[in-house]
Amino acid sequence: MNTRRQALDALCDITDRGAYANLRVKQLTSSLLEREAKLAAALVYHTLDHLLTIDYYLAHFVKGSQKPVIRGILRLGVCELLFLSTPAHAALNESVTLTKEVGKSGLSGFVNAVLRNIDRNRASLPPFPSEPVARLSIQYSYPEWIVREWVNRFGEAETEALLSRPQSAIEVRAQYPYTRDELQKSLPVASTVNSLDENSLSLESGFDLASHPLFLEGKFTVMGESAMLACRTLGDMRGKRVLDACAAPGGKSAYLASLSQNDIQLTCFELHPHRKELLDKTLARLHVAADTFIKDAAEFDPALEVAFDGVLIDAPCSGLGLLGDKPDIRYSKSDRDITELVEIQKHILEACARYVKHGGVLVYATCTISQRENEAQTDAFLHAHKEFVLEEIPISVANDGQVQLLPHVHHTDGFYIARMRRCI
């Protein structure tokens, strides 16, 4: 089975059968040679990143619906023609060959004709809609409900800047007692120190991180700067008891230990057994001691009331701050999902707030850009709980106790962080 056939199977698994892109692409590339793996990953991710644009163009050249496999072939073909550097003759030939390989030889002429027509009309492709939300949705391939929410909040120009941001770099950090400087000197590729957390490094190119000796020895790990800032927001937790309420896969728990130079009493909750295994594996690799439990953070445990100096809630959320790196999230979420997530987040906040000692700190964070999940959630909690007050976050971003990090402004993932102190 050639590389494009494997990429097609992965793409259809993601778009038609609900597979997670990062896991499916990892499976796809694991058995391929490096050059083939890069091609396969590029085909899948670029097609997903431009999916609504591709479908918009196809709708002007194809009448009626197509079988999923043919639709997948056409999507890959348009991606190669318009968004990758594949020569036109190669994109056409490979698409026809792929059509025959999947047992649809009778449709090979149709596929060839559609793609050839698009190639001939590159200079006169249909214009995007003039209405702002529709235009941004098609041009940047984001569902209209997401675009509308951001336009209503930020305006058209700011939303376009957000949608057109460049893809994030791979970010890594050292695990105590290994230092950032030692890591930067030892990495096989160049890196730069990020601006908001001095322990965060952005790699200028990729390499096989998971098999690198320093990674296997637990001296560094992959972690986004914004998630690191959520940990840093707790403040100095050395010698204190801390709960990471939604802990898997373990990067935040490990960073809390690293910031505290391992002088911390760390407890971790994780709802799902398979993710609890991942959490334990991460902590073991990074040599972090913690008490880990399969536990629903939304269900209050009276035995832990006012037991912790600090509680971190990196709540389950819509993930709309990660859309540049995980394009499949755009198409798998809906406005209804936000409503359901808000209720889950509310219950987690209510339960975990009761674990905070008097004078302790509660940090609520999400990896999304959604007022309903972020500012509105925090405001509703504070309105109901006068014993908590917002407290300025100790990071170099202007804030009043809460901050919405934006990729095009802060050069991080879209992340929300609120810091609250229990005063009563």
Domain contains 268: yes
CA distances, 187 to each of 35, 81, 194, 378, 411 (Å): 22, 36, 16, 40, 22
Looking at the chain, the whole-number percentage of residues with pLDDT higher than 90 is 89
Strand pairing report for 200-203 and 171-174: antiparallel
Domain contains 22: yes
* pLDDT at res. 244: 98
* DSSP code of residue 361: E
* pLDDT at res. 63: 86
Shared-domain flag, residues 155 and 189? no
Shared-domain flag, residues 184 and 250? no
Residues 6+ apart with CB under 8 A from 211: none
Q: What is the CATH number of the domain that holds 191?
A: 3.30.70
Give the gyration radius of the chain's Cα atoms.
23
Would the pLDDT of 264 be above 90?
A: yes
CA distances, 99 to each of 64, 92, 94, 201, 309 (Å): 18, 11, 9, 44, 61
Torsion angle, CA of 230/233/239/243, rounded to 10 degrees?
-50
Shared-domain flag, residues 337 and 284? yes
Burial state string for 236-260 with b = 16 or more CB within 10 A and e = fewer than 16: ebeebbbbbbbbbbbbbbbbbbbbb
Shared-domain flag, residues 336 and 234? yes
Shared-domain flag, residues 241 and 378? yes
Shared-domain flag, residues 346 and 204? no
> How many angstroms separate the CA atoms of 119 and 136, rounded?
24
Looking at the chain, the whole-number percentage of residues with pLDDT higher than 70 is 100
Would the pLDDT of 83 be above 90?
A: yes
* pLDDT at res. 167: 75
pLDDT per residue over 194-229, tens digit each?
999 999 999 999 888 999 999 999 999 999 999 999
> How many angstroms separate the CA atoms of 239 and 236, rounded?
9
* pLDDT at res. 1: 63
Number of domains in the chain: 4
What is the end-to-end Cα distance of the chain in Å, rounded?
65
Shared-domain flag, residues 208 and 250? no
Mean pLDDT of 47-52: 96
**Token couple for 202:** 């952005």
pLDDT per residue over 177-195, tens digit each?
999 999 999 999 999 999 9
* pLDDT at res. 322: 87
Q: What is the CATH number of the domain that holds 22?
A: 1.10.940.10
Domain contains 295: yes
Would the pLDDT of 59 be above 80?
A: yes
Q: What is the CATH number of the domain that holds 379?
A: 3.40.50.150
Strand pairing report for 291-294 and 356-366: unpaired
Shared-domain flag, residues 143 and 118? no
Shared-domain flag, residues 114 and 20? yes
**Token couple for 144:** 């209209």
* pLDDT at res. 366: 98
**Token couple for 318:** 């819509």
| Boundary (domain end) residue, out of 124, 154, 189 | 124
Would the pLDDT of 166 be above 80?
A: no
Q: Does an H or E element contain 292, and which?
A: strand 291-294
Q: What is the three-class DSSP state of 265? A: strand
Write the single-letter amino acid at 295: K
* pLDDT at res. 158: 96
pLDDT per residue over 359-416, tens digit each?
999 999 999 999 999 999 999 999 999 999 999 998 888 789 999 999 999 999 999 9
Write the single-letter amino acid at 277: E
Would the pLDDT of 354 be above 80?
A: yes
Nearest residue to 231 (alpha-carbon basis) of 203, 199, 195, 209: 199
DSSP H helices, 31-140, are 34-49, 51-61, 68-82, 88-101, 108-120, 132-140
Domain contains 155: yes
Shared-domain flag, residues 356 and 396? yes
Domain range holding 200? 171-222
Neighbours of 302 (CB within 10 A): 6
Domain contains 129: no
Active site residues: 367
CB 48 within 8 A of CB 328: yes
Shared-domain flag, residues 261 and 349? yes
> How many angstroms separate the CA atoms of 111 and 360, rounded?
63
Strand pairing report for 415-422 and 402-405: antiparallel
Would the pLDDT of 99 be above 70?
A: yes
> How many angstroms separate the CA atoms of 6 and 3, rounded?
5
Q: What is the three-class DSSP state of 391? A: coil
